[in-house]
Structure 1
């Protein structure tokens, strides 16, 4: 099966309203990244032992050749910040040295929660070429993710194939939570955004930076906002792109995203018909045909090699290319093929979204996503409450499954807290907050809300489609953001960029 190149990490923030997957690991939190990354030794807490990276993937999807400008390292941080002298975990980092006159370090979080920063930076660094000429580009796997003491729970294939509105969903959620408790119980209370933001300050210190320069995308906007709340005086040049409103409830998030993906699908359908569409002669027909295809898979999944394209996986496969307008032609092709009985391309999109690897294993994306979100909220909604959410979102956009996150958190073994929802960066340097009018995963209205909560937020509006503006192809957004990072030029309140 052809593997799609769609960047799954920027999809992760929409998982609140899609099928949620299962989990896996030892009872003791991992203190060593997997062997596939560089095998560095940690010196002392607060320092990073840098050495050449190994086992990374390049932009072409092949193993990356060693590069003297690229180094990987590990940083020891407390498992529990209330016990700073207690057990430690190790964060995996990557650094790509500035190619020109260096301004400092620029730290990235690409989204999730659960997105891998080390692998992603190795693949995506070229997209930040202008910034890489003046900054060391740095990223990391947040705690509980990838190579940084990952949350592990078990196989997620079966759960991913489910429609969370099915009668088996509640049982699956309970089993998932119980397995996570058994295998990652000691780690689970400490993977939230509040602790990850504390890790960011440890990274800043280890890099030798007086202030943190930071580029957060999708969930990374939440992480950056929490850091700015904790450490306003060490905020450097901050850009938060694809802004998340931390205060939304599970229900509000699901409804907002259902509306966003419905709008994105309608925009896709209209564009498809305008270009000449294999899915139907009108936008209404396109939607009807895709919905019918997904619904047929409930009873008759499509065989794809040794696997099956179920309705649950097809729903994920349909929403994945809605993240970027550039992927819309591939959505048309994949959906048309599935209607004709070939589900390979749609399954490939689902795999990209959920972090399924060619060998059939999964990255920690899905498990970490659930673990972090559940710890980041005191909400523990009942099945009845989530059923209401599911019914409401199904009316808004039937293709998108709903309620999965809240259904799992109802049984989560670690307590949740609303501390990460309290945002106030009073006293910090200006923070650019970018919202896209056509963003399906983080609806535009969340951006002005986050900017207002920060108190120091400067709102930038992107008029185009897709999740995240900087990587959308907009030269306006690129110039604005680059100017801010490279010169400190503030675009001023209510700056707007047209669609690309």
Structure 2
């Protein structure tokens, strides 16, 4: 289950659009020393289709406009003077006194596959305090959005792809799932042959170090969320001496294999569902989707079982299938703010109306209301399959179902069969798990959330240990949802802001409630 990208709201300038279009085919010629390139910053137009579409970003409070540019990077970092691609960038310049400016603060919001160019403007208000001393900068990583996007199937084909039965119950259904996966993956190879071998996290980390230099910073100041913590860890491993002030929030466990990560997510989403059920039934008013926590979960399980046999109307002409409903429920667990939509969606689904759960599922999959898809799913798959060495057969997954069902009766099968996603992928995976060991790096603030469904809390401690002795400082948030800073918890935000703005880390093992 890929981490969903945040809402989309921005893109590149007209001139950068033309450049990105030329470079998307990865045919640009070498440009010598790319560290000496000068970025041309201009107003941002509307997002491209792979970025998710929508309007251009609104001006910042006070009237300042977002600025966008394109940075040239090597297509193949093993051939740094060879062909280039364009990496799309966006920034909001610091609004404090020039003498207080620290540099650029680079954001990656996760996925992998999420567009930073569209996400940063959507959440800029949350980071306003940081803009007093930093230019806020984000980017579309290679393979994502405007940065030589990985493209696979058409929008109509994606509608069919996301309606398929993702939890096969017999050999025939397993063969259908594997065949459909291979068809999708072959489409990626056919439409994106040049970029596909060059979207590993190590490639994106090298892009970030080039970005640091082109932005004029001696150190990379960084805010990574979800997969962005893995990218940040890989950067710290490759360039420990270039790490500035860095925050990792919603932390990926860098020590896990894909199987271990999927099993951990099954436990995490089940915990979040348990917490939702407990919250709903503990309120003064009646919980409309169950009388007790177990009743809530039993009714959800029955709904999913019924949908497997008979889907209900969703968003015309599509129907809400078991797969789409599971996806929608998972999406709603990424934030406690979404729990009310889960309650509404379940209420409607029990009455035969699947529209709300389908809207949630569409959000997870990067589908807009007009039926256009961003490229988050192709990019997510391409990056993960390039990074992850293991390939899991249907027989192996079948043998592991008891473990996954034990971890989550609701999400276990879904996440187990998700491990088949790299079947017949054109590019071999790099490793069992990323290397983030970074001795000598500056202090990195690692923030874990005890109720995080997608990157369970244990991952924060694993990241601290993997970075190496004396590198990381751990902060715990006892809360719900994916991530801690954007929960708006004042304790978390003060600790993070103080570190990024003054360099002072919180006391080790600080806990925010």
TM-score by length of 1: 0.89
After superposing on structure 2, the runs of 4+ consecutive aligned residues of structure 1 that deviate more than 4 Å are 41-44, 65-68
Query: Cα–Cα, structure 1 residues 76 and 180, in superposed 2: closer, same or farther, change >3 Å?
Result: same
The answer on whether the counterparts of 2:108 and 2:116 sit within 8 Å (CA) in structure 1 is yes
The answer on whether the counterparts of 1:461 and 1:494 sit within 8 Å (CA) in structure 2 is yes
What residue in structure 1 maps to residue 425 of structure 2? 412
SS of aligned partner of 2:123: helix
| Higher RCO by CA contacts (8 Å cutoff, separation 6 or greater) | 1
Q: CA deviation at 1:64?
A: 3.2
Match of 2:94 among 91, 95, 98: 98
Q: CA deviation at 1:42?
A: 12
What residue in structure 2 maps to residue 289 of structure 1? 299
Kindly provide the CA deviation profile for residues 236-258 of structure 1, in whole angstroms up to 9, marking residues without a partner as x: 00000011112211221111111
What residue in structure 1 maps to residue 206 of structure 2? 198
What residue in structure 1 maps to residue 347 of structure 2? 336
Q: CA deviation at 1:494?
A: 1.1
Q: CA deviation at 1:297?
A: 1.3
What residue in structure 2 maps to residue 247 of structure 1? 255
**What CA distance in whole angstroms lies between the structure 2 residues aligned with 1:247 and 1:189?**
24
**What CA distance in whole angstroms lies between the structure 1 residues aligned with 2:92 and 2:201?**
25
SS of aligned partner of 1:189: helix
**What CA distance in whole angstroms lies between the structure 1 residues aligned with 2:89 and 2:400?**
38
RMSD: 2.2
Kindly provide the CA deviation profile for residues 186-245 of structure 1, in whole angstroms up to 9, marking residues without a partner as x: 211110100000000011011000100000000000000000011111100000001111
What residue in structure 1 maps to residue 51 of structure 2? none
Q: CA deviation at 1:185?
A: 2.2
Map 1:2-41 to 2 at 5 A: 8-9=4-5, 32-33=19-20
The answer on whether the counterparts of 1:258 and 1:396 sit within 8 Å (CA) in structure 2 is yes
What residue in structure 2 maps to residue 173 of structure 1? 181
Match of 1:347 among 334, 340, 358: 358
SS of aligned partner of 2:77: coil
What residue in structure 1 maps to residue 496 of structure 2? 481
**What CA distance in whole angstroms lies between the structure 1 residues aligned with 2:18 and 2:438?**
32
What residue in structure 2 maps to residue 19 of structure 1? none
**What CA distance in whole angstroms lies between the structure 1 residues aligned with 2:354 and 2:109?**
29
1:435 aligned onto 2:448 = yes
The answer on whether the counterparts of 1:254 and 1:389 sit within 8 Å (CA) in structure 2 is no
Match of 2:224 among 198, 211, 216: 216
Match of 1:394 among 405, 414, 425: 405
**What CA distance in whole angstroms lies between the structure 1 residues aligned with 2:238 and 2:293?**
47
The answer on whether the counterparts of 1:390 and 1:402 sit within 8 Å (CA) in structure 2 is no
Query: Cα–Cα, structure 1 residues 73 and 268, in superposed 2: closer, same or farther, change >3 Å?
Result: same
1:496 aligned onto 2:492 = no
**What CA distance in whole angstroms lies between the structure 1 residues aligned with 2:509 and 2:336?**
24
SS of aligned partner of 1:433: strand
Q: CA deviation at 1:68?
A: 4.4
**What CA distance in whole angstroms lies between the structure 2 residues aligned with 1:413 and 1:464?**
40
Bigger mean CA offset, 239-248 vs 414-423: 414-423
What residue in structure 2 maps to residue 465 of structure 1? 480
Q: CA deviation at 1:34?
A: 5.9
SS of aligned partner of 1:421: coil
SS of aligned partner of 1:411: coil
**What CA distance in whole angstroms lies between the structure 2 residues aligned with 1:248 and 1:133?**
37
Q: CA deviation at 1:286?
A: 0.5
**What CA distance in whole angstroms lies between the structure 2 residues aligned with 1:306 and 1:158?**
12
Map 1:247-266 to 2 at 5 A: 247-266=255-274
What residue in structure 2 maps to residue 134 of structure 1? 133
Kindly provide the CA deviation profile for residues 167-199 of structure 1, in whole angstroms up to 9, marking residues without a partner as x: 121111111121112121221111010000000
**What CA distance in whole angstroms lies between the structure 1 residues aligned with 2:433 and 2:472?**
17
**What CA distance in whole angstroms lies between the structure 1 residues aligned with 2:111 and 2:29?**
26
Q: CA deviation at 1:391?
A: 4.2
What residue in structure 2 maps to residue 14 of structure 1? none
TM-score by length of 2: 0.87
What residue in structure 2 maps to residue 72 of structure 1? 68
The answer on whether the counterparts of 1:314 and 1:347 sit within 8 Å (CA) in structure 2 is yes
The answer on whether the counterparts of 1:193 and 1:420 sit within 8 Å (CA) in structure 2 is no
1:225 aligned onto 2:233 = yes
Q: CA deviation at 1:8?
A: 3.7
Query: Which consecutive unaligned segments of at least 5 residues does structure 2 have?
Result: 8-16, 23-27, 49-53
Query: Which consecutive unaligned segments of at least 5 residues does structure 1 have?
Result: 1-6, 12-29, 36-40
What residue in structure 2 maps to residue 18 of structure 1? none
Kindly provide the CA deviation profile for residues 264-297 of structure 1, in whole angstroms up to 9, marking residues without a partner as x: 1011001101122111110111011111112211
**What CA distance in whole angstroms lies between the structure 2 residues aligned with 1:98 and 1:402?**
42
The answer on whether the counterparts of 1:438 and 1:464 sit within 8 Å (CA) in structure 2 is yes
**What CA distance in whole angstroms lies between the structure 2 residues aligned with 1:364 and 1:416?**
20
**What CA distance in whole angstroms lies between the structure 2 residues aligned with 1:365 and 1:252?**
23
SS of aligned partner of 1:152: coil
SS of aligned partner of 1:225: helix
Q: CA deviation at 1:397?
A: 1.9
**What CA distance in whole angstroms lies between the structure 2 residues aligned with 1:446 and 1:84?**
34
Bigger mean CA offset, 42-51 vs 485-494: 42-51
1:381 aligned onto 2:392 = yes
SS of aligned partner of 1:359: coil
Kindly provide the CA deviation profile for residues 97-128 of structure 1, in whole angstroms up to 9, marking residues without a partner as x: 11112221100000110011000012111111
